[in-house]
Structure 1
Amino acid sequence: MVREPVFDVLTGLVHGVFRAQGLRVDIAGQEHIPRTGGAVLAVNHTAYLDFMEVGLVGRRSGRNVRYMMKAELEHGIVGWLMKHCKAIGVDRRHGAESYERAVTALRDGEIVVVYPEATISRSFELKEFKSGAARMAIESGAPIVPMTIWGAQRIWTKDIPKQLGRNHFPIHIRIGEPIAVPAAEVTTPAADALTAELHTRMADLLTLAQQGYELPPGAPWVPARLGGSAPTPERATVLDREELARRRAAAERKAGRTA
């Protein structure tokens, strides 16, 4: 593994955080993370800090993963960290440029992390997937590695009080076999079919991650389907729309003040 000082320091900090919180990380399928060559690492998204577990998985296979992150973060200390960790800024107004940067990174042999759900799932079930991960894989010829994380939502997620202390929470990570994707011209039917396969694989992995995990009835971080009080996927969709509307209204007010 090529040494990257900033990534090395951040990895040490992550290990320190895990030790301080007493997290019990259980990983199955680590052998599916390729030690060389490009790959799309597709991960479910339930927590603000689940990127730390993703980085840990990469390092255990001798890889520094490349995150796709919001372009608006590319300033100050976060922007400096993104630059030195080779993160790929995603600007939704100029999505084609971010996409091309990701495809180039894959062709250069990097592991690019993609959250196909795009945003945190309030229901803690898999949301509908965007097709970006599939399109990147098809165009670059890199495999997709499906991965799910379960338990990270107990630490810090939307609408639930943070639990950042020494909590000893178990974190289950399940990694599936890579989905081979020969390089080809990207078509909508091919991208949709691959996205559907990825969703099925990740749903199976999420079920595996939940097996053996204590799920207290009524707990806010447990899906309604499993007896918890988390919003149903339908209710979560409504909450997501309301949040988006509030953000847009706030942005419009800010634009009006600065006009």
Structure 2
Amino acid sequence: MFYWVMKHIVVGPLLLSIFRPWIVGLDRIPKDGPVILASNHLSFIDSIFLPLVVDRQVVFLAKSEYFTGKGLKGWATRRFFQAAGQLPIDRSGGKASEASLNTGLRVLGEGRILGIYPEGTRSPDGHLYRGRTGVARMVLESGAPVIPVAMIGTEAVMPIGTRLPKIRRIGIVIGEPLDFSRFEGLEGDRFVLRSVTDELVHELRLLSNQTYVDVYASSVKEQRAAQSA
């Protein structure tokens, strides 16, 4: 109920009227049943605007730090992410990654929409980076349809490191559902997982018109952090 009130009465209408997002392909999202929305990731606000324009609730898996902050700021951040329909996950790797996969599969098993970022983290510079194969495992193990989504211009509204958004129009392009049924039962094959991931990221490149860089975005961030240290 809290999510519905925030989306339809409080926050949603205000944000949509200010940023006036243009949308292509919204009718490609099924009205019911499990769906994976696989999006590029340019800005913190991607996880806000995509759920706002979709009629159904979109569940994103957000890093657990957003839910554990202290004081008034921590409380406000936690309530905001809860209102946005996001679930906390541990992104430290290993068993935590397996738990994240299981959380995503549970969401899909409940017939809901799962939002996921194949790149694993926000792009540090607006380019599209190599996808993580966890999204492929999610696709193959769930059997849910996967739909590529391109967020356009969100990095100009709220670049990494900024606290307040700039008032600019953004776009959302929703592609055709992708069919990976030919790989059914092969979710344990790492070459298949890489093939599925690369095909999905290729579709994102076509939709977003971003420049593709064949390295992980997290590696680029680590290199830049080391250089600035």
Structure 2 length normalisation: TM-score? 0.80
Q: Identity across aligned pairs (percent)?
A: 25
- Please give the per-residue CA displacement for 1:117-176, whole angstroms capped at 9, x wherever unaligned: 1222122121111111111010010011100011111111126x66635x3x22121111
Distance 1:195 1:113 in 2: 15
Distance 1:181 1:98 in 2: 22
Question: In the alignment, what sits opposite 1:170?
Answer: 169
Could you tell me which amino acid in structure 2 is paired with residue 64 of structure 1? Answer: Q
Question: In the alignment, what sits opposite 1:57?
Answer: 53
> What is the Cα deviation at residue 8 of structure 1?
2.9
Alignment partner of 2:37 out of 41, 56, 72:
41
Distance 1:237 1:101 in 2: 22
> What is the Cα deviation at residue 238 of structure 1?
7.4
SS at match of 2:170: strand
Question: In the alignment, what sits opposite 1:24?
Answer: 20
Answering whether residue 185 of structure 2 is matched by residue 184 of structure 1, we say yes
Written as runs of structure 1 = structure 2, the 5 A alignment for 1:1-259 is 4-11=1-8, 12-19=10-17, 21=18, 23-59=19-55, 63-75=56-68, 76-80=75-79, 82=81, 86-93=85-92, 94-158=96-160, 164=165, 167=167, 169-182=168-181, 184-186=185-187, 187-207=189-209, 240-242=221-223, 245=226
Distance 1:177 1:85 in 2: 25
> What is the Cα deviation at residue 39 of structure 1?
1.2
Residues 137 and 124 of structure 1: CA distance in aligned 2, closer, same or farther (over 3 Å): same
Distance 2:153 2:204 in 1: 16
- Please give the per-residue CA displacement for 1:183-223, whole angstroms capped at 9, x wherever unaligned: 5341212211111110111111012xx8xxxxxxxxxxxx7
| Structure 2 unpaired stretches of 5+ | 69-74
Q: Indicate the structure (1 or 2) with the bigger Cα radius of gyration.
A: 1
**Would you say the 8 A contact 1:143–1:178 is kept in 2?**
yes
> What is the Cα deviation at residue 9 of structure 1?
1.3
Residues 237 and 142 of structure 1: CA distance in aligned 2, closer, same or farther (over 3 Å): closer
Question: In the alignment, what sits opposite 2:71?
Answer: none
SS at match of 2:21: strand
Could you tell me which amino acid in structure 2 is paired with residue 50 of structure 1? Answer: D
| Structure 1 unpaired stretches of 5+ | 211-222, 226-231, 250-259
Higher RCO, 1 vs 2 (CA within 8 Å, ≥6 residues apart): 2
Count of aligned residue pairs for this structure pair: 215
- Please give the per-residue CA displacement for 1:223-258, whole angstroms capped at 9, x wherever unaligned: 7x9xxxxxx998x87761245559xx9xxxxxxxxx
Could you tell me which amino acid in structure 1 is paired with residue 33 of structure 2? Answer: G
> What is the Cα deviation at residue 71 of structure 1?
1.2
Structure 1 length normalisation: TM-score? 0.72
Distance 1:239 1:179 in 2: 29
